[in-house]
Amino acid sequence: MTITQPTVTPLAATDPELANLITAEEQLQASTLRLIASENYVSGAVLAATGTVLQNKYSEGYPGRRYYEGQQVIDQVERLAITRATSLFGMDHANVQPYSGSPANLAIYLAFAEPGDTVLGMSLPMGGHLTHGWNVSATGRWFRGVGYGVGRDGRIDLDQVRSLALAERPKIIFCGGTAIPRIIDFAGFAEIAAECGAVLAADISHFAGLVVGGVHPSPAGHAPVVMTTTHKTLRGPRGAMLLCDAEHAKTIDRAVFPGLQGGPHNHTTAAIAVALQEAAQPDFARYARAVVDNAKALAEQLLARGYDLVSGGTDTHLILIDLTNTELGGKPAAKALDRAGIVANYNTVPFDPRKPFDPSGLRIGTPAITSRGLGVAEMATVAEWIDRVITAARAGDEETIIAVRREVAELMAHFPTPTGD
Catalytic center residues: 58, 60, 203, 229, 232, 238
Q: For 177, list phi and psi in degrees, rounded to 5.
A: 180, -155
Other C-beta atoms closer than 10 Å to the C-beta of 262 total 12
Helix (H) or strand (E) holding 350: none
Three-class SS state of 270: helix
Quote the CA–CA distance of 342 and 338 in Å, as a whole number. 5
Q: What DSSP element (H or E) covers 121?
A: strand 118-122
> Nearest to residue 39, comparing CAs of 287, 370, 265?
370
For residue 174, what are the β-bridge partners? 201
Q: What does each C-alpha distance from 128 to 110, 117, 271, 354 come to in angstroms?
A: 20, 19, 28, 17
| 366 three-state secondary structure | coil
Q: Exposure of 246 by Cβ count < 10 A (0-12 exposed, 13-18 middle, 19+ buried)?
A: exposed
Q: What is the CA radius of gyration of the chain?
A: 22
Q: Which of 81, 23, 25, 7 is nearest to 266 (CA)?
A: 81
Query: Before 219, cis peptide (omega within 30)?
Result: no
Q: What are phi and psi of 160, to 5 degrees?
A: -65, -40
Cis status of the peptide bond prior to 98, with omega within 30 of 0? no
